Amino acid sequence: MKLTLCILSALVLPLHATEQVFFAFDDHNIAWQHNLKLTLETAQKHPGNPVLRSGPPGSPDHGHAVLYGTVLKQGDTFRMWYLGMHEPKIEKGQAPGWWRPMCYAESKDGVTWTKPDLGLVEFNGSTKNNICRIEGDPYSMTRVNDFLSVLYEPEEPDAAKRYKCAFIAHMPFDEVKGGRSKVGPNEKRWASFVTATSADGLQWNCVGDRPANAGGERFEVSGLYRFGDFYYATGQLLSPWSWRPDGSDIGRDMLAYRSPDFVSWSKAKAFCYARPGQMSNPSVKGQQMHMGAGLWNRGNVMVGLHGMWQDAEQPPPKGQSWNYGVHVDLGLLISNDGVHFREPVPGFTIIPRGKDGEWDNVAILQGHAFVNEGDKTMIWYSHWDTSGVLEHMDIGLATLRRDGFGSLSRKVPEEEGHFITSPLNAKEIALNVDGNVPETPLTVQLLDNLDHPLDGYEAKVRTNGVHESITWPKPLPSGKKIALRVNFPAGSAAKVYGIYLNH
């Protein structure tokens, strides 16, 4: 979705830093399989959707409420940062057209949301609104935001920087530190990637040595996270600013910059992901990926949803928006290194756009908005009316079984099956499993570095649940290179969604 305003993006940390997850769809950590198949799941949309609607005329989100943003749960409160939309009087330094302010909402259940009066930004003559404040120089960096996401780092020693975000400001060239691009066409406005920090997630201060891509390529940042030693900012580029490895043109793809300190950012970038049809020769007509991915850091892996863009079949009718007829569904991505992403099943839709007549029937947009609550995974998303009319551009909710994006089960019913994980280190191991019955229980074994069973480390799993702890005859060994084998006996209907490793 190419917008003429600006982008705000962010980071998401794992809910439990001491827990690692081997998802069923992670073919790196569960590479070795016999007689197993992967079944991905489609999330179920909430019957009360949309759960957060745009506001009335005169409100900061009356144009739309879009979750190019983040949802985090802190304590007993769900916190949402999203994009409003209002057409202001044009002031010096502002991009023309709509202003997309950083808006804030809260909920106790993730379904019913309130928009508190923050009292931080004057809007229509009053500070009674839910707009977050961003301070910075130049002023135009703070006025128009897009692709909003927020990271909370409780272990950050500087309390004023425990919340972090990044955003794009579209500003005049003469306000960009570092000069203008020498790559690509001469644009009237620049898409500058800017970072900010906050003590409370509501009042922000811009930081950093420069717009990260000043003097380089145009970059529409849409995601930011910390993985290992670096912060990574991912986003969208397309030709002429991006290209396939052989230098040929490409549509929207996902690239990343990195920073060790959230201040200085690399000039070099990494190619993170393009849809398979974009990389084939010839490429699949009209297939692109849209605005990077909404990301969820689970400690050892990154999980995300990406926009599965498909061009319109016909050129737009005269007078219609340039992207009239574009459709977008959401697909699943995973990365084991925080840089290279892949689809477990290319083309599979985790959250589809709605059917004709439904509120989200045109195109849908991903956010950094995942929360595990009880036995459910909650995922928020929003609708994009590509016709430009901006109808029903609100925020919805979809749910899965907790971490239930997909499961492994036997392929040939008459035969046993099993898988072996990559090396692991854990004090406790649990399974996310369903369909298991006492008569044909799963059997689990620990193996040494040469796949030999470790004496005394075999157990049976007879029950079902999203976190079924394995009871071993003795404490798990430490300091040894071990792996887990999970055996599905013939006749088993068990489905394993994931393995949890607690350190």
The answer to whether residues 311 and 437 belong to one domain is no
Domain boundary among 357, 379, 406: 406
Which token pair is 8? 């705000």
Residues 378 and 452 grouped into a single domain: no
Report residue 160: phi and psi, to 5°. -75, -10
Q: What percentage of the chain reaches a pLDDT higher than 70?
A: 86
Q: Are residues 396 and 439 in the same domain?
A: no
Concatenate the DSSP letters of all residues of 122-142 into one string. -BTTB--S-BPEEE-SSGGGG
**pLDDT recorded at residue 373:** 98
Q: 334 and 397: one domain?
A: yes
Q: Quick one: pLDDT at residue 182?
A: 46
pTM of the model: 0.92
Ranges of beta strands (E only) in 250-348 are 253-259, 270-273, 287-297, 302-310, 327-335
Dihedral, 284, 289, 290, 292 alpha carbons, nearest 10: -160
Choose the weakest-confidence range: 17-31, 112-126, 163-177. Answer: 163-177
Whether 104 shows a pLDDT value over 70: the answer reads: yes
322-356 per-position pLDDT tens digit: 899 999 999 999 999 999 999 999 999 999 999 99
252 and 218 share one domain: yes
Tell which of 406, 430, 465 closes a domain: 406
Instruction: State the pLDDT at residue 479.
Output: 82
Query: Locate tokens 């209002």: which residue?
Result: 86
Confidence grade of residue 318 (pLDDT, cut at 50, 70, 90): confident
CATH number assigned to the domain comprising residue 419: 2.60.290.11
Neighbours of 179 (CB within 10 A): 13
33 and 122 together in one domain = yes
Identify any residues that bridge with 230 across adjacent strands, giving them in sequence order.
Answer: 227
Distant-in-sequence, close-in-space partners of 396: CB < 8 Å, separation ≥ 6: 45, 46, 49, 50, 51, 359, 360, 380, 381, 382, 383
Beta strand 133-135 pairing with 203-207: parallel
Q: Look at residue 3 and tell me whether its pLDDT is greater than 60.
A: no
Does residue 486 form part of some domain?
yes
Contact 440, 461 (CB under 8 A): no
Of how many residues is the chain composed? 503
Are residues 418 and 382 both part of a single domain? no
The token pair that represents 70 in the structure block:
């983040």
Q: pLDDT for 52-95, tens place per residue?
A: 999 999 999 999 999 989 999 999 999 999 999 886 554 444 44
pLDDT of residue 167: 82
Q: Which has the closest alpha carbon to 150: 210, 67, 252?
A: 67
Pair 325, 433 in one domain: no
Q: Which of 187, 202, 195, 239 is nearest to 221 (CA)?
A: 195
Q: Which residue has the higher pLDDT, 11 or 445?
A: 445
Burial of 234 per CB tally in 10 Å (0-12, 13-18, 19+): buried
Task: Classify 111 as helix, strand or coil.
Answer: coil
For the segment 232-251, what is each residue's pLDDT rounded down to a tens digit?
A: 999 998 888 889 999 999 99
**Share of residues in the chain with pLDDT > 90 (%):** 71
Q: What string of H, E and C letters represents the secondary structure of 142-187?
A: HCCCCCCCCEECCCCCCHHHCEEEEEEEEEEHHHCCCCCCCCCCCC
**Across 11-15, average pLDDT:** 39
Question: Residue 2 falls within a domain, yes or no?
Answer: no
Provide the strand spans (E) within 136-212. Answer: 151-152, 163-172, 189-198, 203-207
* 68 part of a folded domain: yes
Same domain assignment for residues 400 and 429: no
| Domain boundaries, position 342 | 7-406
Within-domain flag for 263: yes
State the Cα–Cα distance between residues 167 and 410, nearest whole angstrom: 45
Residue 371 has pLDDT above 80, yes or no: yes
**How many distinct structural domains can be found in the chain?**
2
151-202 tens-digit pLDDT? 999 999 999 999 999 887 766 555 555 544 444 444 555 567 878 999 999 9
Tell me, yes or no, whether 169 and 241 share the same domain.
Answer: yes
When comparing pLDDT for 319 and 374, which is higher?
A: 374
